[in-house]
Structure formats: structure tokens, C-alpha cells
Structure 1
């Protein structure tokens, strides 16, 4: 049952936030851009392809946890909750959770409108009696949930270790914002959050997950250049950049960069930029968490962890928390 809501959408010919973030990011030293702008339609499709790669363990590990622990979820969360998924993408993992807990509604939130509507229609067909209410927008910005969910208790769903793409202070800010969105005082049962977090592990395994042999992650990273050229009147040479993945041990994160393979001079939105050979644009960080780190992060964001599920190899965790 696919429903729509009267909330404003983010669809524009040229997103002013995209222009602002890219211009500001290219003007910095060192250069860096927010990872949210990877996800135009083609970027979203490329990311879905990444999740199927043999090197990319997080998706299959998390999916296995969702498949295996359905009865645990039902016991811990109860029925009738409105499941609010932040950054829903294709919602491929979501059916495992929905089947387990018999929710009252499903609200997928994503910045890529076309991708969101297509995946929501597919999920609505699979769950014909479930209200599916897509909400197009940036979950990093203030959001108002659809009125149709009424007084249903809320369960935030944030799979895929997306929280790791943020610096710790920004991650805490996001967790606090999620609590404000989900924890409605008029709802009797308090809000809950089910979140995925990637664990610290062998460096070679981590790097391979972000620099696959087939080059799909490289294409995903380079697609940002294509998007800048298309939407911001850019003239960045695609062949002037190479994808790089690096492990930053001091900050416990994998970093993705676009490295200039020769001296570059280009324009974006009428402004000129230069890059020396070897200089990079830092496009994404993916922080990894130790056994206690994720719980500390959640508590800092106003959530109290209540259950945790981890695979036998300790690669990935799903943590359930209540609004503190």
C-alpha cells in the first residue's frame, strides 16, 4: 500500500546545497566533499552493485543477522511500530525486519527521489497491507514525519554502517536529531533505534571492501565528478582523477579520495580551481568501531543500548537502543 505525504521534497534542477558544499569543499585545503552527494540515481545504483561484490562483507553480514534474529527483534521491539528508515536506498534489507515485527507503517527516507519512489513501489507490492509512505529529503536536515503514522510508536532503522561516514561529533548530532524526530511525547511507547555498525578488523580486508577488483567502487567515487560536471557546469577531466582507498589507523577509518594524476585546472559553477599532481579530494570516511565504541557513541547521542547482535567473526553489529 504505497501512500504519499504532503511534506516538501528536495527535487530541484540544481540543488543549492550541492553547489554550496562542492564549492566550499574544493576551496578547502585539503579538499573534501560530503559523501551525501554520491547519491544521484546512478550513484545509488552503483552503491547497490557494490553491496553485491565479494569483497564487500558488510551487506551480506548484516543481512544474515537480520534473517537469523527475527524472533529476537519481535520480542525486543513488539508489533505495530512505524519503521522509519534513514537513507533507505533500495530497502533490500528491510523486508527481513518488516516480516519479523509486523509494523504499523513503513516510512523510507532518502535524498534520491527517483530511486526512493521506485524502491518504495516494489516494497509496497511485497507488503500490500502495509502503509508505505516515502519521504524524500536529507536526513541530516530537520524532517517532519508523515501525519499518517499518528500515535504509532516509532522504530528508527539505520542499517549499513552509514553512521560511520560521519565524523564523531557529526554522528552524535545526527543521533540526537533522530531522537528528536522519533521520540514524540504524544506516543505512549518510547522510540527505539536499530542501527548497523562496522567493526574494526584486518586492514587488508577493510581496504579491499573499498577498492574492489572489478572497479565498481572506483566508478562510484568517480561518478561524483560526472555529477559535478552535469549539474554545476563543471569541466573536471574524468581521466585526471584516480580512486584511492586508504586506512587511517589513528582515526580508525577507511578514507576514499579522488587523486589528481596530473596537474589540473578546472571550473565549477563559474569558479576556477587548481590541483597539483598527487593532491586529493577526500570524498568519504568510513569509521570502524571497537566493541565498546558504538555503545559510547549511542549514549552520547541520547540513546541507551539494550540489545546487540554480532556475527561469529565479529565483523559487524546491529545494536538496538531506546531513547534515553
Structure 2
């Protein structure tokens, strides 16, 4: 059953947080815009296309791993599954089929995409109450009253945690613990460190889909913020930053340019970039330490046969104080 939210299909004004992040990010040095703004409808569609690319191993690796370990998940029947950054909810049916939840709460910043995927899941799982929330989960997210008294499982797949710096990731994990409450569990996907020969092509595919995904951010700025950015003056770059243990995505100016966003003038020289995404990769100990810093106690961990990706089940246990 799907709860309809007001405003389905209605056009909305530019998000004020999007406006502030773009204007401040382009004016800053180095220039950077948070990766969450990739996900307008077109960006969400392009990301789904990325997940099917031969170079992009995380989605298929995690989905196969989830299908393998699902019977081992210790989750109370009748729980509410709360998925952070649900997108198309492609992996969600695997989880819902094996834990028999009472409710599913997908949270995503892309409203149109969220509502369509929620409808599809409501049709596929008529006994599960589907309660979509259009929200930026980096800000406080009040959960629906319908799930207040249910045991909760947070679901955070795709190594989305890797898009954040360590302090942001820990802050988010602490916020999730607060929203989900004591005794809740969290199933989180984390991508592991591996050869740049595998990592870089996953973010710079031969078909150019990831490049289109990155460049779509400029199209969105032009459309929603009255920008005059010459999109053809930029190209997509993906690099491995070994010291930071992350893939970085940038939009690099190929020539000197001048443009406006909401009437504010900007200029960039050839070779200058706008930093648009980080994707941090983790070792086993680093992943567990970060979860503990966020208030979650790891209780089980699984990885694929190549050791490329891990799923960790953690619990919001009472906080222990050291001596």
C-alpha cells in the first residue's frame, strides 16, 4: 500500500539549499558543489544507467552479496525498513522478500523518481506499507508516525557513505542512530580499497555515461538557477586520490570562460575545475571504526569472493563509556 504525498507531479521552485550550495561552491577556492545535487530526475536516470555499465562493479556486486547473505540477517519480523537515498530502490526487493517487514520508508532527494519507485514497490509488495519521504537526509528527517512503534532497520546501500568526508559520515551515522532509536539495526554497504585500474574506469566509463551524469549538474544549474554556463566548455575527470583513499570527480574547464548564475558573474581559466564528488573506499578496520564513532556497533560483516565490497550489519546498542 502506498501513501500518496501532496504535490505529486507539481513543478517546484529551485531548492534554496541548491541555490546556496551552487553559488557558494563556485565562488569558493577550490570550487566544489556537493554530490547530492546530481540527482534531479535526469541525473537519477543517468545514475541508474551507470549501475548497469560493465565497468561499474559496485551495484551488481552488492546486489549479489545481498541475495547471498539475506537469510542470515537477524531482523525482527514486522520491522520498518528505512532506506536512505533510495533512488530506484533496485536492491530493496531482495531485502523485503527475506525479512517480511511491515513498512518501508524510502528517503530520497529526487521526488519524481522517488514516487515512481515507491509506486512500483507498493504494487510488488501489497502487504507492506510504503511511505516515501522526499527529503535530504543530510538534514533532520522526521520519520512517519506510522512507524514510530515498529522495530527499525536502516538500509544504506551503494557505499553512499563514501560520498562524505569522515566528519560528515560520522555526523550522519549519529543522526541515523537518533532517528532510528536504541535497538535499531543498520545494514550498510561499503566499497573497499582496490587497484586504481579497477576503480577509475568505474567512474570514467568508455560509453561516457558517467561524463553525462557529471555534466548534467551544469545543465541543472542553467535550467533551475538561470545559469549561462557553456556546458560544452567542460569535460569530466575522474582521478584516484591515494592519500585520501577516494575517487574524485571534477568538471574541468577546457578554455577560459565567463558565465552567470542567478545574475552573479563568474569566470574560470582553462584547466580549473569544479569538484563534484568524492567516493571514499575503506579498509575493514576503518569501516568498523567509523561505524563505532557514529554510535553503531558492528555485529556481522560479509564480503564478496573478491573482497571488493562489504555489507555490515550494525546495531544501536546502549552507548558505553570508557574508563
- Return the TM-score normalized by structure 1: 0.95
Counterparts of 2:191 and 2:262, CA distance in 1:
36
1:5 Cα shift? 6.1
- Which of 198, 205, 215 is 1:212 aligned to? 205
Task: Give me the CA root mean square deviation.
Answer: 1.4
Counterparts of 2:198 and 2:254, CA distance in 1:
26
Change (3 A) 1:11 1:288: farther
Counterpart residue number, 1:277: 270
**Structure 2 residue matching 1:266: 3-state secondary structure:** strand
How does 1:1-150 map onto structure 2 within 5 Å? 1-4=1-4, 12-73=12-73, 76-150=74-148
Counterparts of 2:153 and 2:139, CA distance in 1:
19
Unaligned runs of 5+ in 1: 185-189
1:6 Cα shift? 8.1
Counterpart residue number, 1:241: 234
Q: Is this contact kept in 1: 2:102–2:127, CA < 8 A?
A: no
1:291 Cα shift? 1.5
1:11 Cα shift? 7.5
Counterpart residue number, 1:171: 169
Counterpart residue number, 1:305: 298
**Structure 1 residue matching 2:266: 3-state secondary structure:** strand
Cα deviations across residues 51-91 of structure 1 (Å, max 9, x unaligned)? 00000000000000111112101xx1231110000000000
- Return the TM-score normalized by structure 2: 0.95
**Structure 2 residue matching 1:77: 3-state secondary structure:** coil
Counterparts of 1:238 and 1:232, CA distance in 2:
14
| Deviating 4+ runs (over 2 angstroms) | 4-7
1:180 Cα shift? 0.8
Unaligned runs of 5+ in 2: 318-323
Counterparts of 1:105 and 1:151, CA distance in 2:
11
Counterparts of 2:269 and 2:134, CA distance in 1:
38
Counterpart residue number, 2:320: none
Greater shift, 143-152 or 253-262, is seen at: 143-152
Q: Is this contact kept in 2: 1:11–1:113, CA < 8 A?
A: no
Counterpart residue number, 2:321: none
Counterparts of 2:249 and 2:270, CA distance in 1:
17
Q: Is this contact kept in 2: 1:266–1:274, CA < 8 A?
A: yes
